Amino acid sequence: MYVRTGKRLPARVTEVAMEFHRPPQLPLFPGPAATLEPDALIVRVQPDEGLSLSFGAKVPGHAFRVRKASMDFSYRDFGGHSPDAYERVILDALIGDHTLFIRADEVGRSWRIVDPVLRYWAGDPRPIPLYQAATWGPPEAAALVAQDGRTWRSLR
């Protein structure tokens, strides 16, 4: 699992992208499997809440050609006003809905995860890689995922 986060990235976007394993080969026609992108399910949290599923589909006809296809769902298609994140949190606080707020025991558990990371960084003389504003991160981020033969998903 890879997480990419930062301030001043090229776009304000929160999403979870699940990339499925590529098939080792396509039955009957093994050639095109190497050029197919893996299927992916993208859950868009903000700003355009919705789901997207992309997958390889056979192009109609006698020839065996496979092309990327997509299915998209967006809440904006329902119309109306969808409150932004701050509006929602303030309203929930006013009406006493604690669903979006974490409890004290969750905060304590979070620090049990974060503290060892902070201690490790404090003892590591190497600087944390920085990146230029309006980019998708430092070159070290691309190198990290490349070690596993992967790339970051292109966004907008």
Q: Is residue 27 a part of any domain in this protein? A: yes
Q: How confident is the model at residue 57 (pLDDT cuts 50, 70, 90)?
A: confident
**pLDDT per residue over 75-87, tens digit each?**
888 887 777 778 8
Total count of domains within the chain: 1
pLDDT in the model for residue 156: 55
Residues found in the chain: 156
152 part of a folded domain: no
SS3 40: strand
> In CATH, what number is assigned to the domain containing residue 112?
3.30.360.10
Is residue 9 in a domain? no
Is the backbone peptide bond immediately before 47 cis, with ω within 30 degrees of 0?
yes
In this model, does residue 147 exceed pLDDT 90? Answer: yes
In a domain, 3, yes or no: no
- The string of pLDDT tens digits covering residues 91-141 is 888 999 888 788 899 999 999 999 999 999 899 998 888 999 999 989 999
Which residues make beta-bridge pairs with 58? Answer: 66
Residue 1 placed within a domain = no
**Rounded to whole angstroms, how far apart are CA atoms 85 and 104?**
22
Residues 6+ apart with CB under 8 A from 100: 88, 89, 92
Q: Which domain holds residue 102?
A: 14-146
Query: With 80 as the cut, is the pLDDT of residue 154 above it?
Result: no
For residue 7, is it within any domain? no
* pLDDT (0 to 100) of residue 25: 62
The tens digit of pLDDT for each residue in 3-51 reads: 888 888 898 888 999 988 876 666 655 555 556 778 899 999 888 889 9
Q: What pLDDT sits at residue 27?
A: 60
